[in-house]
């Protein structure tokens, strides 16, 4: 069976972009592939994380994955730091990837901002760790939002260069799965900026733990334009906020974008926002309630993650051994006592 790997950072609240762009697809795909879903704490620390919050954020994101519908018995759910092979393979990939490749990564440029000299080395090498995450399991498919596309191209380049340098077919070239209208959910305050955890405005995003009042308030304040909703998709040209809200509706309702645009044609934003709020509350409130229930049981969540780490290690270790053998690294693990 083909294998999926995907990850999410424990850097704060999960938001609607994470849910519609990633988690919802993970839930849909979980029975058709052999799946690993990872809470990537080693990626999170490429920027400062409060030690008092990292562990609870890791549990909270784990709760989000399960509440969204991932079955921890069927899927391997774990936190990255607990499978040390991620860091081992990332180092090897630091020696495979070229500086020129990393210099092209737009997400580093965005995250490092003007003060590039002061960014951590980890933030710069982040895409190599991400390639290691995927290739450590020889994953064939990676469901992500649009913003991760360039990182996946780099993972493919690394796999190809490793295979070419050593004359092997060790790593498959992983395929991105970037699905549907929700692959890029935009900020509620600015239709040209991605919905993101790092946006300073809480009103820019809907969090998965938001209650009905918060969802209603944020959608009421969501930026719009003065026109009614257009008759067809062509009429969304130059209207990014309208396109975004209709895209969110279509993803939440699981209905084709064209059909939603046709249904809402001619309505005023005020009316449409009411329907959207009703739909968002109906979808998100049960997930938020289940998250709260799971978060109150950290022992259960830790058990899921420990079990996942064990199962992930069992897949990763033989693959790292294969990498060491290919590279001529003297591997004495089998001779050491367990």
Rule CB under 6 A: is residue 247 a binding residue for ligand TYM? no
Angle formed by the axes of helices 85-94 and 298-327, nearest 10°: 40
Distance CA 306, CA 302 (A): 6
Q: Which of residues 136-195 bind ligand TYM (CB under 6 A)?
A: 142, 144-145, 147-148, 183-185, 194-195
* Contacts of ligand TYM in 302-331 (CB under 6 A): none
Helix, strand or coil for residue 38? strand
Q: How far is the CB of 13 from ligand TYM (least distance, A)?
A: 11
Among 194, 218, 223, 273, which one carries the catalytic annotation? 194
Phi, psi of 247 (to 5 degrees): -65, -40
Q: Catalytic: 111?
A: yes
Q: Per CB under 6 A, does 105 bind ligand TYM?
A: no
| Cα radius of gyration (the chain) | 21
Q: Where are the alpha helices (DSSP H) in the chain?
A: 16-18, 24-29, 41-44, 51-68, 85-94, 99-103, 106-112, 121-135, 149-166, 212-221, 240-253, 257-264, 269-295, 298-327
d(CA 188, CA 204): 5
Shortest spacing between CB 152 and ligand TYM, in angstroms: 7
Residues 16 to 35 in contact with ligand TYM, rule: CB under 6 A: 17-18, 21-22
For the CB of residue 326, give the shortest distance to ligand TYM in the complex, in Å: 22
* Residue 194 is a catalytic residue: yes
Q: Which of 41, 133, 210, 241 binds ligand TYM (CB under 6 A)?
A: 133
Q: Distances from the Cα of 128 to the Cαs of 86, 93, 105, 269, 318, in angstroms?
A: 10, 6, 11, 44, 20
134 touching ligand TYM, by CB under 6 A: yes
Tell me which residue has its CB nearest to ligand TYM. 21
Residue 218: active-site member: no
Binding positions for ligand TYM, rule: CB under 6 A:
5-9, 17-18, 21-22, 40, 43, 130, 133-134, 142, 144-145, 147-148, 183-185, 194-195
């Amino acid at each position: 069976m083909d294998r999926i790997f995907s990850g999410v950072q424990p850097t704060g609240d999960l938001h609607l972009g994470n849910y519609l762009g990633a988690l919802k697809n993970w839930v849909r795909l979980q029975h058709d592939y052999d799946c690993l879903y990872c809470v990537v704490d080693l990626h999170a620390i490429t920027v400062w994380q409060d030690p008092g919050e990292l562990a609870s954020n890791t549990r909270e994101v784990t709760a989000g994955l399960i509440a969204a519908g991932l079955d921890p018995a069927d899927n391997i759910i774990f936190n990255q730091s607990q499978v040390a092979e991620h860091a081992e393979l990332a180092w090897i990939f630091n020696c495979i990837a070229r500086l020129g490749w990393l210099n092209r990564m737009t997400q580093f440029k965005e995250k490092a901002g003007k003060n590039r000299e002061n960014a951590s080395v980890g933030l710069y090498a982040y895409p190599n760790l991400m390639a290691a995450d995927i290739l450590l399991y020889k994953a064939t498919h990676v469901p992500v939002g649009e913003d991760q596309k360039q990182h996946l191209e780099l993972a493919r380049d690394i796999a190809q260069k490793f295979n070419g340098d050593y004359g092997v077919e060790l790593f498959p070239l992983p395929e991105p799965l970037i699905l549907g209208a929700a692959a890029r959910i935009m900020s509620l305050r600015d239709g040209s900026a991605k919905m993101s955890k790092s946006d300073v405005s809480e009103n820019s995003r809907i969090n998965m733990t938001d209650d009905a009042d918060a969802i209603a308030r944020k959608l009421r304040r969501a930026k719009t334009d003065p026109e009614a909703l257009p008759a067809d998709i062509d009429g969304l040209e130059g209207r990014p906020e309208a396109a975004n809200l209709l895209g969110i509706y279509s993803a939440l309702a699981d209905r084709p974008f064209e059909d939603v645009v046709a249904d809402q044609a001619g309505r005023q934003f005020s009316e449409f926002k009411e329907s959207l709020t009703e739909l968002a509350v109906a979808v998100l409130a049960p997930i938020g309630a289940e998250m709260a229930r799971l978060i109150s049981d950290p022992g259960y969540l830790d058990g899921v993650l420990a079990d996942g780490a064990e199962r992930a290690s069992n897949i990763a270790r033989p693959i790292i051994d294969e990498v060491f053998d290919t590279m001529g690294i003297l591997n004495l693990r089998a001779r050491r006592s367990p």
